[in-house]
Each structure stands twice: as structure tokens, then as C-alpha cells.
Amino acid sequence: AKGQFEVGEAAWGVLGLVWPKPDLLILGLGKDMRPISPKTRQYIQSLGIRVDIQDTRNAAAQFNLLAMERGVGSVAAALIPLGFREGLVFNEMVDEDI
């Protein structure tokens, strides 16, 4: 959906494999926060995992804090780089950063 973060179920495959399963997934969606699609939220929650959405800087800080407090087994993070732009291929990102 427009303005919402959405990726297919296959992108979350590792969450179905890890044990113990984290009870919280912190999503860092780049420079700005935006909602995730209902389909994406529903899939992650169907795995028994709560979702917290933040910009990447705050998500990384929150993950580090919770991992120290609760242990890395109970929290996971998926972080999109701050400079990421949809539709930009990796080689173009590398060339721009040089």
C-alpha cells in the first residue's frame, strides 16, 4: 500500500526458524518512520512476535538497550540503512558513496 512498508513473507523466513523465537521485533525503517502494511504486521504477529516501528537510529538504540536488559534471545531487529531509497540498486548506492 502507498506510504506503507511492505515486504513479502519470505523476507521474514529467519524469524520462523530461530529458537527461541524473539517476542519483539524492532523495525528501523530508515531515516523516517512510516507504518507497515497490515499484511506485513499480521504475518509477523502470526509468528507470535510483537512489532515496534521506529526510524533506524532509534531502533538500533532501542535494540541495544533491550538486548542488554533482556538478552539477545528475546528481541530482534530489522534495520534499513539511513541512505536507502527504494528502487536503487546496490551498485548505484556504492558509487554514490565513493
Structural domain span for residue 66: 9-83
The total of structural domains in the chain comes to: 1
Residue type, 69: E
Inside any domain, residue 44: yes
Q: 76 in a domain, yes or no?
A: yes
* 2 inside domain: no
For residue 4, being part of any structural domain is answered with no
How far is 22 from 73, CA to CA, in rounded Å? 6
pLDDT at position 5 is 82
Residue 36 backbone phi and psi in degrees, to 5: -95, 155
DSSP state of 9: G
Flag whether 78 is in a domain.
yes
**pLDDT digit string, tens, across residues 12-30:** 888 888 888 999 999 999 8
Residue 29 lies in a domain: yes
CATH number at residue 74: 3.40.1230.10
Does the residue 22 lie in any domain?
Answer: yes
Which whole number is the average pLDDT over 2-21? Answer: 83
Q: What is the DSSP letter of 5?
A: B
pLDDT tens track for 49-81: 999 999 999 999 999 999 999 887 899 999 988
Q: How many Å separate Cα 72 from the centre of its chain?
A: 15
pLDDT at position 1 is 55
Cis peptide before 35 (omega within 30 of 0): no
Asked if the structure places residue 95 within a domain, the reply is no
Mean pLDDT along residues 20-43: 91
pLDDT at position 15 is 86
